[in-house]
Structure 1
Amino acid sequence: MPIYRDTPTSNIISDNKKYFDENIRSLSERQVSWLQVYLADKTKDVSFISLGSTNLHEELINKLVKIDSFKQVFYDAHLKMLNSLVPDKYFKLIEESLRAQIFILQVLSDEYDYNVGKIHTDHILKLIYNFFDRKENENTAENKIIFLTNMLLRLEEIVLNSNYNKWLNDNEERQLKWAANYLVEKKLIVNVSNLENSKVELKDIVLSSLDLIDYPSRIEVRDKNYSYKMSANKEIIIDKMKRAWSQQKYRDAGKTKKPYHLPLTKNTKARLKKMAQVQGLSETAMLDILINRFYELDYVDVDGKDLY
């Protein structure tokens, strides 16, 4: 049983400086936070609950030295941490990818009841860390790593088997904003509170919103015969979105058209007129859309380069 003492903490810290430098000051803030929560639950006579210090390491040290056997207490807690806390290196793949962060947080929300409501994109990574680090999650670090890896594999399959990744142009901010607004109107946008992002982040928000349409469940993925394929519903949604953007581009083009006479049969002319009326466009604009739409479908490759 730990023995508690009243010896001045500054003397103990000074005498054990090398020990604290090597064992506690070398830890990440995430590791120190985990130890604080763990020790707060295990040690009753000394309160390890953080008081919001700007230096968590020194806060933890000052609490530990109140215990005579602090080295043993820390050793036991550190051993438990190694068995429970996923090392930072396993999160490297998602640190720079907002797309991956949004996907993972949505999976946690939908499949594991980790409901966080509408969130700011700057806070997503912290929320993911919290899911894995919180004391209620009693899985071992090894099992958590497998779980995280499996979620990333699910996303990888979606990305590799989707036809909209190259459709969004990094340099076309107008297209990205239009796509985000389109998804908002269709109630398909991910649950984030900020859409006034950089082009890179906005693209990730749009792409992750599309990724999450009919995304596979963990049960499907566990099936040995499983291989991801876009659902018919998702294909229709993506196609409608691309068509709507094509219409928007030509509606907003605003460039002067050169007069050009194109003889059409009476029946074709009537159909063109009807299509233009339905879409709320001029016949010229409608013809522009039809020609360019089929050109993009049959005469360019996936990168938008002419085939012929």
Structure 2
Amino acid sequence: MSNIDGNDLSSVISENKRYFDEHIRCLSEREVAWLQVYLTKKIGVSFMSMGSTNLHEELINQLARTDNFYAVMHEAFLKMSYALVPEEYFSLLEGSLRARIFFLNFLISEYNYTLESIKISRIMKDIYHYFDKVKEKTTINNNIRFLNNILFIFRDIVSKDNYTKWLKNEEGQLVWTTTYLNEKKLIVSANDDRLSEMELTAIILASLDLIDCPKYTEIIKSSYLYKVSPNKELVIDKMKRAWSQQKYRDAGKTKKPYHLPLTKKTEGRLAKMAQVQGLSETAMLDILINRFYEMEYVDVDGKDLY
């Protein structure tokens, strides 16, 4: 790459910038970032502020003074078309924070993808980086297959879960569930100071999705069929029971006195159950009635059947 001196410099810069406005400004930041890395390796141009928020201007400012600008960019575009997985294959991730959190943590746990920290705001960039840099030596078709297989298991897990509709932002359930999963060392990490309800919900759901998540080697088998593990079923059941107990503890002060005659045998069993669970007999009875009601008298969406 050669630089231009003399009277033609101004016209060349102007012509190059016109080309940039027509053909490069429409590129995504992901594509411009890839071009920066490629051009650094290919022609030795230096991008001193790589990672800045104005990648497009940085690119043109570095290349506008070269006389073979068109040839350089033509070759770069050609190489990029064979290197980057098209954006359309990432559409599910772009539209779902839950999917992004699941996907990134799958890469970290399954493929030792190392990151200094996980930030909600840049998860998509970290996923792109994995495909654009870490896996750049593989073919696009292999990367697409890899991407689709992980998304397949994510969709399968979500379609079979029994906790998405259970999780509601009521009575502090989001905060309680986050604390519960953190104590069980099941919550995924996110180094963000303040999280919205939507972000916290996505973190919780993705954390539950990842419990006993199948290995990639299992996913690619033709005979593969996802089934919720007994351990995961137990974890979810215990979590729901613990939340029910917490709700009834918190609601204890608002209960109305109600006399319900029971046989001595039933009274004894109720007292023993309450003692084991560390609850009052009233709270224990509330849990039993409501749990049976939810099992037999409501549909899968939580609506009354009768």
TM-score w.r.t. length of structure 1: 0.90
> Which residue of the partner structure matches residue 25 of structure 1?
25
Amino acid at match of 1:198: S
> Which residue of the partner structure matches residue 187 of structure 1?
185
Name the CA distance, whole Å, in 1 between partners of 2:50 and 2:192. Answer: 30
Distance 1:5 1:118, change over 3 A: closer
> Which residue of the partner structure matches residue 14 of structure 1?
14
Distance 1:201 1:39, change over 3 A: same
Moved more, 298-307 or 135-144: 135-144
- Structure 2: stretches of 5+ with no match in the other structure: none
1:269 maps to which of 256, 267, 270: 267
* Post-superposition offset of 1:261: 2.7
Amino acid at match of 1:208: A
> Which residue of the partner structure matches residue 137 of structure 2?
138
1:276/1:283 contact within 8 Å kept: yes
Distance 1:256 1:103, change over 3 A: closer
Establish whether residue 111 from structure 1 lines up as the match of residue 104 from structure 2: no
Amino acid at match of 2:155: E
Distance 1:265 1:141, change over 3 A: same
Question: SS at 2:82's partner residue?
Answer: helix
* Post-superposition offset of 1:195: 7.6
1:117/1:191 contact within 8 Å kept: no
Distance 1:52 1:208, change over 3 A: closer
Name the CA distance, whole Å, in 2 between partners of 1:135 and 1:268. Answer: 63
1:36/1:50 contact within 8 Å kept: no
Name the CA distance, whole Å, in 2 between partners of 1:252 and 1:71. Answer: 69
**Cα deviation code 1:242-287 (max 9, x no counterpart):** 1111111111114443333323232322222122122222111111
Amino acid at match of 2:231: N
Name the CA distance, whole Å, in 1 between partners of 2:52 and 2:216. Answer: 40
| Residues 79-98 of structure 1 mapped to structure 2, 5 A cutoff | 79-98=78-97
Distance 1:225 1:132, change over 3 A: same
Amino acid at match of 2:266: T
Name the CA distance, whole Å, in 2 between partners of 1:189 and 1:16. Answer: 50
Distance 1:50 1:307, change over 3 A: same
> Which residue of the partner structure matches residue 241 of structure 2?
243
Provide the aligned C-alpha RMSD in A.
2.2
**Percent of matched pairs sharing the same residue:** 61
> Which residue of the partner structure matches residue 204 of structure 2?
206
> Which residue of the partner structure matches residue 215 of structure 1?
213
Amino acid at match of 2:99: A
Establish whether residue 289 from structure 1 lines up as the match of residue 287 from structure 2: yes
Establish whether residue 36 from structure 1 lines up as the match of residue 18 from structure 2: no
* Post-superposition offset of 1:151: 1.4
* Post-superposition offset of 1:220: 1.2
* Post-superposition offset of 1:117: 4.9
Distance 1:95 1:259, change over 3 A: same
Name the CA distance, whole Å, in 1 between partners of 2:43 and 2:95. Answer: 37
1:5/1:66 contact within 8 Å kept: yes
Alignment size in residue pairs: 305
**Cα deviation code 1:41-95 (max 9, x no counterpart):** 1113x32454566533232223224433221111111100111112333323212
Question: SS at 1:134's partner residue?
Answer: helix
Question: SS at 1:84's partner residue?
Answer: coil
TM-score w.r.t. length of structure 2: 0.91
